[in-house]
Chains A and B, each alone.
Chain A
Amino acid sequence: MEVDLIFRIAAIGIIVAVLDQVLRRSGREDQAMMTTLAGVIVVLMMMVNEINNLFELVKSVFGLY
């Protein structure tokens, strides 16, 4: 559970924002949307593991089974 996760999400967000602007200026609206969608999916895949870790910890600490 490192703080790197926040910085990685922020970096992906900035990169996707730049790519979105570039693709939008060159008239490729659909590819810009695909890039945004792919970025969101990548971030969600990164976060799913952490969410699973948190839920397992809550279950083990508070005896939820």
Chain B
Amino acid sequence: MDAGIFAVIGIGVVAAVIAAVLRQSKPDYALLVSFAAGIIILYRILIGVVPVVAEIEAIMQTTGINAEYAGIMFKALGICILTQIACDVCKDAGEASIATKLEIAGRVSILVVSLPLFTRVLSIVSSLMA
């Protein structure tokens, strides 16, 4: 990500200028330009994140923590990112109500993903109390 940060900054600034130019004649294309810029920037960020995820998983392996926990954490992170993209696009399009529903959907799916951990914590607590 050493040279990547400059590319990302350039993409963001150029896309902002293009969207501002298009906004007065065609506002819907300004929305599409900002959406495309968001997708490209996020793609570049995630390509930089791949080694970080592998490193964290390796650390988890060496510390002896169950690898399933790291998997659940990364799943929640991925759901957060996808939901945030969709929410931002809906808010830019002026549909705040759909964005709110998408946020609720993201929260529910994160809850579903992390529910096994809750049951495990509860079983640990009950075994401690017994």
Contacts and interface: CB of A to CB of B under 8 A. Distances in A.
Nearest to A40: B28
Nearest to B43: A1
Given A6-B11, A61-B46, A62-B53, A14 B32 contact: no
Chain A at the B interface: mostly helix, strand, loop or mixed?
Answer: helix
Contact of B40 (A50, A58, A61, A63): A50
Contacts of A53: 43
Interface string B33-49: 10111011011101101
Contacts of B11: 3, 6
Contacts, number: 99
B77 interface: yes
Interface residues on B, range: 35 or more
Chain B at the A interface: mostly helix, strand, loop or mixed?
Answer: helix
A62 B36 CA distance: 22
Interface in B53-87: 53, 71, 74-75, 77-79, 81-82, 85
A57 B25 contact: no
Interface in A40-65: 40, 43-44, 47, 50-51, 53-55, 57-59, 61-64
Given A6-B14, A14-B22, A40-B28, A47 B36 contact: yes
Interface of B: 7, 10-11, 14-15, 18, 21-22, 25-26, 28-30, 32-33, 35-37, 39-40, 42-44, 46-47, 49-50, 53, 71, 74-75, 77-79, 81-82, 85
Interface of A: 1-3, 5-7, 9-10, 12-14, 16-17, 20, 36, 39-40, 43-44, 47, 50-51, 53-55, 57-59, 61-64
Given A17-B29, A50-B39, 5 more contacts: A3-B11, A7-B18, A16-B26, A50-B40, A63-B75
